[in-house]
Structure 1
Amino acid sequence: MFLENFDPLKDSMIQIMDKDGKIVNPDAMPELSDEEIIKLYETMRFSRIIDEKTLQYQRQGRMLTYAPNLGQEATQVGSIAATKQTDWAAPSFRELGVWLYKGAPLRSIFLYWFGNEMGMHMPEDVRVLPISVPIASQMQHATGLAYASRYKGLDDIAIAYVGDGGTSQGDFHEALNFSAVQSLPNVFIVQNNQFAISTRRKIQTKAGTIAQKAIAYGIPGIQVDGNDIFAMYAVTKEAVDRARRGDGPTLIEAYTYRMGAHTTSDDPTVYRDNSEVDEWRDKDPIDRLRKYMMEKGIWDEEKEEAFTEEKGKFVKATFEDVEKSGLTPLEDTFDYVFAERTPILEAQYQAKKAFYAKEGK
């Protein structure tokens, strides 16, 4: 419905629900039960609650650097909801909604941001790769997963996430080119939140849209309102089904906005005005879905208050449990790179160990 007819050089962004929670394209509305819609909302809302509390912990000096997801919840949850549990997800470092929907334990997520590598050790049925901080490297990991799936005769697909800045990396080109040539079962989601740290998207690439980059690889490319969870779900579902049929990869540009900082080490007021943030806050993905649900009669203020209180207590208890686990052992910093430490890593480890011994740590 979407991919066959969309021309990324001519057509405008796909939207099903506007910022006021009104369905503006009813023919494109995906078939979702009330229970499924509520799950989408609760996952997004849970992500926001975690973000808000984690930012507090970090400012209190109780958490290491953290990458907020504020404003990008629909992009993440809407897309991953269109996949199967057996499908693989290859995230970067700002996909909290993806991890939660796939079933990643909150304790594991907190462990990672607390500095413990074991936080990325996921349960067997949670097919999510570890956080990938090197920009766009996860794109190639996703092509490997897709290639392996086809080699084994499975129908699992691999969905990868990258920011708009990642599209300027060679890894992005190599992944899309390889996947396209091999017709691999991939879906590539670009979370275009308008900034690569402080670099605006308009000076990131000369292309009119990121979606039109797909043309060079001979695959479908489409731009979607990333704050519209129904549009994200519907378009991704079509791309996922296409990949599963063996028709190859799709590039989806989720047009959204990072309302918070790049990470807690960043000060966005240096490179953007608050008025710009306020304009996008009016398009908040959580607010618009809540308006839709309340109008439909499947959500109300009482449920909102109860859910917020319950999840807030759970986040607090989970973090305090992680906090009691203590600091990460020095060895963990060096033991998760190679199967055995290389001579250089061993030398670095011994030097650091000696330094701490001298400092009495």
Structure 2
Amino acid sequence: MNWDDIWSFDGKFQQTKTNDLIRMNDIPSIIKTLLSYQSSIKDDVNIVSKDFEGISKKQKSIQQEIYEKYLEKIKLKNQLDEATSNYTKCIEQYNYLCSIERDILIEKQQKEQQMTSINEIQDFNNKVLEGFNESNDKLQKLIEENQNWIEKEWNELEKKWGEWNSQEISIFIGHTSKCKKSKINQYNKIIKKNKIDGMSLSKMSKNNLIDIFRFETFLQACAIYDSFNEICKKYPMNVIDSDKDVAEQVIPKEYLCPLSNSTMNDPVIASNGITYDRPSIMNQYQSIQNSSSLLISGNLRLFPDYGLRQKIQTFLKNSK
């Protein structure tokens, strides 16, 4: 800067000074303005600070909520994983149970088929049993008719005991001893050889009988002797000496009812395959173990044993 600029009224220095004074005069207003701004700024700062604090609190609250949601998310994820695992296990168990159900249905169908077959077999068996009963009844009637005819013929034969020839005597001995045809023929030859008739037979003792006919046991001779004496008493011709001794006979176990332990008059076969006397089984079947097995369709089914009844009747008749 030149000296004239410094010292002159219109020099640059003076202009600068003037400008500085102007600016200096403006400074208070500026300061006031700034001070007013500063107050406003303080208010704004306070407001912003409060807002900042509020935002910070919100941030902390949000962060807390975020953390809680994070924990909840982890928990839910674990629950989801567990639920997924349980779901998978449930599906596996469901499929397994379905496969078992299919197997059960197949087995059930097979059992139903078996049951149908069993019922058909049972129905057939019942029809066979009914047919057996009918045949058994018819056979029993034939046996009874035959037995009646035999008894009638035998009674006629007994009446003529004094006139018996060798054949009739051998028939009597064979019938009483329950011999085979070959044995009866042997007795016939012995009778012819010894010229025995009905009257001479009535005079024989037990020892005579066993000596002549060579019976295997003395009991056989006793049976022949006693049976013939009974005929002689029943149809007397002459006075016949009789031996009062009667051979004691033991009742076979198969003739006794398992319930009453007495001789059966009407033997019947129950569903368990055991033979009982009809009155005993009718009255006491509930006392038998597994008595329900004796019932067919809720009814007690019994099948007559005519063959055994015939044996018992013959035994009792011969024991008199």
TM over 0.5: no
Greater Cα radius of gyration, structure 1 or 2: 2
> How high is the TM-score relative to the length of structure 2?
0.19
Structure with the higher fraction of residues in helix conformation: 2
Structure with the higher fraction of residues in strand conformation: 1
> How high is the TM-score relative to the length of structure 1?
0.17
